């Protein structure tokens, strides 16, 4: 099993899947993306040794993506895949940071040979430091502020909507402060509370069912009669 990880970026599902399957069978770790945006998401969790990059894609083209990656300091090996055999296109790709070029259609054995050749030329890959996530803890619960996720006892994830998370985050950032319904709505959702609007109270009641041991007598999200709500993190 190879310790080389590869990302295939191509908007053609058939070709993308074929390359992914073939290289996986050769022992490489392979992930796939259909465009630059999908690649950016993969790079948040993957540290590839090599990228196989299609040139002609809708939206951001492959050469632009390669230039952006190099400007950001990314040093993985890059092989461009293109149906364009024009020499100027090759020179443009290589000038902007590609390591090799392969013309479509190609034999998978040639692709494998190019990958292994580039593999031999790659410098040792530096480890990306793990990103320290921003966590807010209260009692047995924790908020992952970066991932916008809520975890209960023993790390079990509690499913909440985006607006529920906004509300819970607002409470967690203002512990032991009595917040009026109007103030809560402004802080959490950026808008004033409309007259006779009970949606905030309904949302808090729903949150209590998810995070409180006893929603009928909540120790964390407490009601202060006539004033609003208060968040007690040690509840």
Q: Is 130 a member of any domain?
A: no
d(CA 30, CA 50): 10
Check residues 74 and 125 and name the one with the higher pLDDT: 74
Looking at the structure, tell me whether residues 74 and 158 fall in a common domain: no
Q: Is 210 a member of any domain?
A: yes
- The closest alpha carbon to 116, from 15, 23, 10, belongs to 23
> pLDDT over 90 for what percent of the chain?
43
Q: Is 127 a member of any domain?
A: no
Looking at the structure, tell me whether residues 115 and 186 fall in a common domain: no
Looking at the structure, tell me whether residues 84 and 57 fall in a common domain: yes
With 60 as the cut, is the pLDDT of residue 183 above it?
A: yes
Which CATH number characterizes residue 200's domain? 1.10.10.10
Specify the number of domains making up the chain: 2
With 70 as the cut, is the pLDDT of residue 163 above it?
A: yes
Q: Would you tell me how many other CB atoms lie within 10 Å of the CB of residue 177?
A: 12
User: Do 175 and 233 meet the contact criterion of CB atoms below 8 Å apart?
Assistant: yes
- The closest alpha carbon to 76, from 106, 115, 105, 37, belongs to 115
Q: What is residue 55's predicted lDDT score, i.e. its pLDDT?
A: 92
Mean pLDDT across the chain? 86
Q: What is residue 110's predicted lDDT score, i.e. its pLDDT?
A: 95
Tokens matching residue 170 = 């607002």
Q: 193-210: per-residue pLDDT in tens?
A: 888 888 899 999 998 998
Q: Is 140 a member of any domain?
A: yes
Looking at the structure, tell me whether residues 166 and 77 fall in a common domain: no
Which CATH number characterizes residue 53's domain? 3.40.50.2300
SS3 134: coil
With 50 as the cut, is the pLDDT of residue 191 above it?
A: yes
Give the structural domain span for 53. 5-121
Decide which of 121, 156, 183 is a domain's last residue: 121
Looking at the structure, tell me whether residues 84 and 175 fall in a common domain: no
Q: 91-124: per-residue pLDDT in tens?
A: 777 888 899 999 989 999 999 999 999 999 887 7
Q: Is 128 a member of any domain?
A: no
Looking at the structure, tell me whether residues 49 and 26 fall in a common domain: yes
d(CA 108, CA 21): 11
């Amino acid at each position: 099993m190879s310790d080389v990880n590869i990302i295939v970026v191509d908007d053609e599902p058939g070709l993308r899947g074929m390359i992914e399957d073939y290289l996986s069978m050769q022992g490489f770790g392979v992930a796939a993306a259909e465009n630059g945006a999908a690649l950016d998401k993969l790079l948040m969790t993957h540290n590839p040794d090599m990228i196989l990059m299609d040139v002609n894609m809708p939206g951001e083209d492959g050469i632009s993506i390669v230039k952006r990656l190099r400007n950001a300091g990314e040093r993985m090996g890059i092989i461009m895949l293109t149906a364009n055999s024009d020499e100027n296109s090759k020179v443009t790709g290589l000038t902007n940071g590609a390591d090799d070029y392969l013309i479509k259609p190609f034999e998978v054995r040639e692709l494998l040979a190019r990958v292994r050749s580039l593999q031999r030329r790659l410098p040792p890959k530096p480890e990306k430091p793990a990103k320290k996530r921003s966590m807010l803890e209260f009692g047995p619960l924790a908020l992952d502020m970066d991932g916008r996720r809520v975890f209960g006892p023993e790390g079990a994830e509690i499913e909440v909507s985006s607006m529920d998370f906004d509300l819970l985050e607002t409470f967690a950032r203002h512990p032991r402060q009595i917040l009026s319904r109007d103030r809560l709505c402004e802080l959490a959702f950026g808008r004033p509370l409309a007259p006779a609007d009970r949606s905030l109270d309904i949302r808090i009641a729903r949150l209590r069912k998810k995070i409180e041991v006893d929603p009928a007598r909540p120790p964390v999200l407490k009601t202060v009669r006539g004033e609003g709500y208060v968040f007690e993190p040690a509840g």
